[in-house]
Amino acid sequence: MKYEFKTDFNRITINLRNIVNQAISDYIQGVKAPSKLLDASFHLIKSGGKRIRPIILMEVTELLGGSIEEAIPAGISVEFLHNFTLIHDDIMDRDEFRRGVKTTHVLYGDSMALLAGDFLFSIVFNILSKSYDDEKTKELVKIFSWASMEICKGQAMDIEPDIYIKSVEDYLEMIYLKTASLIEASAVAGAIVADAYEYSEVIKSFGRKIGIAFQIADDLLGILGDPKKTGKPVGNDIRNGKKTLPVLYTFEHADKDQLAEFKRIFGSPKASDEEINHVVDIIKSVGAIDYSRDYMYKLADEAIQLLKSFPSSKARDYLEDLVRFIVYREV
Amino acid sequence: MKYEFKTDFNRITINLRNIVNQAISDYIQGVKAPSKLLDASFHLIKSGGKRIRPIILMEVTELLGGSIEEAIPAGISVEFLHNFTLIHDDIMDRDEFRRGVKTTHVLYGDSMALLAGDFLFSIVFNILSKSYDDEKTKELVKIFSWASMEICKGQAMDIEPDIYIKSVEDYLEMIYLKTASLIEASAVAGAIVADAYEYSEVIKSFGRKIGIAFQIADDLLGILGDPKKTGKPVGNDIRNGKKTLPVLYTFEHADKDQLAEFKRIFGSPKASDEEINHVVDIIKSVGAIDYSRDYMYKLADEAIQLLKSFPSSKARDYLEDLVRFIVYREV
């Protein structure tokens, strides 16, 4: 789908990302720990990433009259939190690549990777406790610890899909917990930093909608995405038997023959590229891709509507563009 | 060694432990999450434990004029934090039993156990953010997140002993990080809850000393302890090649023949009980047990001296007894 940005989106994004990367790099330089722990802890965060959570946080702060400067410590905290979850998820999923580089446990072993995640998680709260006044610290700790609990619940569902993910409804609950909660928390944290508690409900809803949309976009990329851009081998999610919105829709809407074929290949780690293509064809033919896209577009539209309750500003325009970027990136 | 308690130590301890256990149980009842995550997260904490960290926290609060009641949320937070580290440590060390029951990863699998640890860690900060005023929350988050970082550093040393633990000095740094830091943090948290920031340095030093003594006692128990009381198979630490103060002292003081014998058996998972006894004999004969005990007793004496800077009270007497309990329990 074609779309146009209202702002100089790519330039602003790169600028914000540079601010985040610089702050992460400055923080890392000050950390003293055994060398292997340092290497394992910061390998993934140094390997790149969109920094979308800190960017949302900082732009919400700006939208509500705060300064990006003040949002930086909370921004890098949420990025450390996100990276902690990725390191642990990769251990659980036995994924070998992310962002085009080897995962932490592949490079440093399971134990050191586990510990690296724990270390990043500790860092999150340590940064928060040293960067804000008492009240903001408390509110930020509350929202980030809440999101961490939600993420664990979502991941628990995700690693036991046969028990916990049986329907499109279960799936939507799972991605809310696993992914959207932290994006929601990032947005709310932006409001906290800006001292704009009165807007936290609208911002919460905005964050939730783009969070869910973001995960659906990610799931679509996992099926249709270019491995050069996603950094993951093609068919990865299908070989791993990852239940996603298109997959669950397919389960509910495929005919008997399609379902038999689908189930034969789905979740088998040694499926050939040909078999993967066959599964993708089934997913497409039952309308699961269209359904997922439409669902995602609706959330994006609602998120943009919520933004319109704030006066026009550069930050508002940027956040609108960010919503478009999230849902239209490659799908 | 014979010793007498100043207080009705066992009765008070059971009473404090019951308070902690009740609060943990109340908290757990209110948590909603996928059933497997709940089971895995709370399996270990429900299986018992001395609750020594919350007890130290609560008694320091009382020593400094605060109420035990107010210390409870911080107390259960530190116990959740401790249990999080145990669950993850057991995964890394591949330990199958703790407190006489199967470890979390044995019962629920590595992934769910990993997640259970993460969930408990999230709970720590969530409880803190909901139980205290803004200032106390900030200070408690600061001390607990600091301790969590230290624990990760200590554990990183501990899982790579060939790189990081080459001397008695390295060992003492490691146990400070891995064990004493959280006991120190528990004591300091007691001072924070009591609004007695002016005493935090003395309390910190007290906590550090008993923390190190506690770990040395634990290491001695790992070599000499009754498996029925420790809940761990005899020789576990020796078969796992766990470097402890007695072991490092032995490395530095054994003669050539003793060292060859020691190295042949130490760290081999399939060592027979006879071989384990042989290693224990070497450890004893070089004086490593006496050295470790004396080191520990000295710390305990210093900790008791620090307590004497506070006016006499029931809490002070109890904390003195607790120090004696820690170092004299079974060694």
A115 vs B88: CB contact, 8 Å cut-off? yes
- Return the pLDDT at B77: 98
A37 vs B121: CB contact, 8 Å cut-off? no
- The tokens of B215 are what? 């770990």
H or E element in which residue A98 lies? strand A97-98
**Average confidence (pLDDT) over A65-93:** 98
- The tokens of A217 are what? 């976009």
Cβ contacts (< 8 Å) between B174 and chain A: which residues?
none
The Cα of B79 is separated from the nearest Cα of chain A by a number of Å equal to 16
Closest by Cβ to A33, choosing from B117, B148, B156: B156
- Return the pLDDT at A240: 84
pLDDT, tens digit, 9 for 90 and up, residues B249-268: 999 999 999 999 999 999 99
A148 vs B121: CB contact, 8 Å cut-off? yes
Chain mean pLDDT for chain B: 95
**Average confidence (pLDDT) over A288-303:** 97
Q: Judge whether B2 lies within some domain.
A: no
Q: Judge whether A323 lies within some domain.
A: yes
Closest by Cβ to A34, choosing from B142, B148, B157: B157
- In this predicted structure, the answer to whether residue A72 has a pLDDT above a threshold of 70 is yes
The Cα of A79 is separated from the nearest Cα of chain B by a number of Å equal to 16
- The tokens of A269 are what? 């780690």
- Which residue of chain A comes nearest to B156, CA vs CA? A37
Q: What angle do CA B16, B19, B25 make, to 5 degrees?
A: 140
Angle between helices B288-307 and B273-285 (to 10 degrees): 70
Where does the pLDDT of residue B240 fall: very low under 50, low under 70, confident under 90, or very high at 90 and above?
confident
List CB contacts of B321: < 8 A, sequence separation 6 or more.
B5, B6, B7, B9
- Which residue of chain B comes nearest to A37, CA vs CA? B156
Q: Judge whether A150 lies within some domain.
A: yes
ipTM of this complex prediction, to 2 decimal places: 0.94
Cβ contacts (< 8 Å) between A118 and chain B: which residues?
88, 117-118, 121, 148, 152
Interface test with A, best of B115, B132, B135 (most A CBs within 10 A): B115
Where does the pLDDT of residue A4 fall: very low under 50, low under 70, confident under 90, or very high at 90 and above?
confident
Chain mean pLDDT for chain A: 95
Q: Judge whether B1 lies within some domain.
A: no
pLDDT, tens digit, 9 for 90 and up, residues B30-45: 999 999 999 999 999 9
Closest by Cβ to B119, choosing from A37, A118, A152: A152
For chain A, give the percent of residues with pLDDT over 90: 90
A115 vs B152: CB contact, 8 Å cut-off? yes
Bridge partners (DSSP) listed for residue A12: none
pLDDT, tens digit, 9 for 90 and up, residues A142-169: 999 999 999 999 999 999 999 999 999 9
- Which residue of chain B comes nearest to A34, CA vs CA? B153
- Return the pLDDT at B138: 98
Amino acid at A198: E
B156 vs A37: CB contact, 8 Å cut-off? yes
Where does the pLDDT of residue A35 fall: very low under 50, low under 70, confident under 90, or very high at 90 and above?
very high
Q: What is the CATH number of the domain that holds B26?
A: 1.10.600.10
Whose tokens are 């899982």? That residue is B159
Amino acid at B302: E
In three-state form (DSSP H/G/I as H, E/B as E, the rest C), the secondary structure along chain B is: CCCCCCCCHHHHHHHHHHHHHHHHHHHHHCCCCCHHHHHHHHHHHHCCCCCHHHHHHHHHHHHCCCCHHHHHHHHHHHHHHHHHHHHHHHHHHCCCEECCEECHHHHHCHHHHHHHHHHHHHHHHHHHHHHCCHHHHHHHHHHHHHHHHHHHHHHHHHHCHHHHCCCHHHHHHHHHHHHHHHHHHHHHHHHHHCCCHHHHHHHHHHHHHHHHHHHHHHHHHHHHCCHHHHCCCCCHHHHCCCCCHHHHHHHHHCCHHHHHHHHHHCCCCCCCHHHHHHHHHHHHHCCHHHHHHHHHHHHHHHHHHHHCCCCCCHHHHHHHHHHHHHHHCCC
List CB contacts of A261: < 8 A, sequence separation 6 or more.
A278, A279, A282
What's the domain count of chain A? 1
Q: Judge whether A1 lies within some domain.
A: no
A115 vs B159: CB contact, 8 Å cut-off? yes
H or E element in which residue A35 lies? helix A35-46
- In this predicted structure, the answer to whether residue B247 has a pLDDT above a threshold of 70 is yes
- Which residue of chain A comes nearest to B93, CA vs CA? A111
Name the residue with higher pLDDT: A46 or B224: A46
For chain B, give the percent of residues with pLDDT over 70: 98
- In this predicted structure, the answer to whether residue A6 has a pLDDT above a threshold of 90 is yes
pLDDT, tens digit, 9 for 90 and up, residues B269-313: 999 999 999 999 999 999 999 999 999 999 999 999 999 999 999
- In this predicted structure, the answer to whether residue B78 has a pLDDT above a threshold of 60 is yes
Closest by Cβ to A34, choosing from B114, B137, B153: B153
| Dihedral sign (CA A319, A323, A325, A326) | positive
Cβ contacts (< 8 Å) between B135 and chain A: which residues?
134
Closest by Cα among B114, B111, B107 to B85: B114
**Average confidence (pLDDT) over B219-237:** 79
Q: Domain of residue B177: give its range.
A: 9-328
Closest by Cβ to A112, choosing from B119, B128, B156: B156
A149 vs B33: CB contact, 8 Å cut-off? yes
Q: Judge whether B4 lies within some domain.
A: no
